[in-house]
C-alpha cells in the first residue's frame, strides 16, 4: 500500500504490506557453487595436514636422543621436507582447478570460488618466492 508523504513523494507503509507487495523487487537468490565450497575447504585441510606434519617432524627430530647422527638425520629430514612441501603444492592444484570450475558455473554465487582460488594459489606463490630467493642468493 502506497501513501503520499511530504511534497507528494510516494512512501511505502511497510507495517501493512504483505511480502508480495514489497517496495523493492526481490532479488533472485542464487545458490553457492558446490565446487567453490569444496575449493574453499580443501586448502584448510591441506594446511592442517601440513602443520601436523611439521609438528611430527619437530618431535621426531630430537638431537638429544642421537647427537652423533644429527648430520645424517638433518639431510634426510630436509629431503623429506622438500618432497612433502612439493607434494602439498601439487595437491593445492586440485582446489585451484575446482575453483576455476566453480567460477565457470552459470547462475551460482562466486564468492567461495574466488576465496578458494586465492587460498589454493598461496602455497604455490610461497614456493616460487622461496625458490627465487634461493636462486638469487
| Torsion sign, CA atoms 52, 56, 58, 59 | positive
Number of domains in the chain: 1
The larger pLDDT score, comparing residue 114 to residue 77, is at 114
Query: According to the model, what pLDDT value does residue 63 have?
Result: 62
Q: What does the pLDDT look like over 27-80, one tens digit per residue? A: 678 999 999 999 999 999 998 988 888 787 777 666 665 555 555 566 677 777
| In-domain check, residue 72 | yes
| In-domain check, residue 9 | no
The pTM of this model reads 0.67
| In-domain check, residue 76 | yes
CA 39 to chain centre: 7
Residue 114: exposed, middle, or buried by beta-carbon count in 10 A (0-12, 13-18, 19+)? Answer: middle
| In-domain check, residue 23 | no
| In-domain check, residue 103 | yes
| In-domain check, residue 93 | yes
Domain that holds residue 78: 31-136
Assign residue 107 a region (left: φ > 0; alpha: ψ between -120 and 50; beta: otherwise). left
| In-domain check, residue 2 | no
What percentage of residues in the chain have a pLDDT greater than 90?
A: 34
Interatomic CA distance for residues 53 and 55, integer angstroms:
5
| In-domain check, residue 43 | yes
Confidence of residue 87 (pLDDT cuts 50, 70, 90): confident
Amino acid at each position: 500500500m502506497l501513501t503520499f508523504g511530504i511534497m507528494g513523494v510516494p512512501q511505502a507503509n511497510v507495517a501493512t504490506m504483505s511480502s508480495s507487495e514489497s517496495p523493492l523487487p526481490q532479488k533472485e537468490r542464487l545458490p553457492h557453487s558446490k565446487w567453490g565450497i569444496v575449493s574453499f575447504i580443501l586448502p584448510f585441510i591441506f594446511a592442517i595436514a601440513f602443520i601436523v606434519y611439521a609438528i611430527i617432524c619437530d618431535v621426531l627430530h630430537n638431537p638429544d636422543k642421537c647427537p652423533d647422527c644429527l648430520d645424517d638425520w638433518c639431510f634426510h629430514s630436509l629431503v623429506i621436507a622438500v618432497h612433502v612441501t612439493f607434494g602439498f603444492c601439487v595437491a593445492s592444484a586440485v582446489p585451484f582447478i575446482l575453483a576455476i570450475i566453480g567460477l565457470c558455473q552459470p547462475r551460482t554465487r562466486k564468492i567461495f570460488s574466488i576465496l578458494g582460488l586465492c587460498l589454493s594459489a598461496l602455497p604455490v606463490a610461497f614456493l616460487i618466492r622461496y625458490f627465487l630467493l634461493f636462486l638469487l642468493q
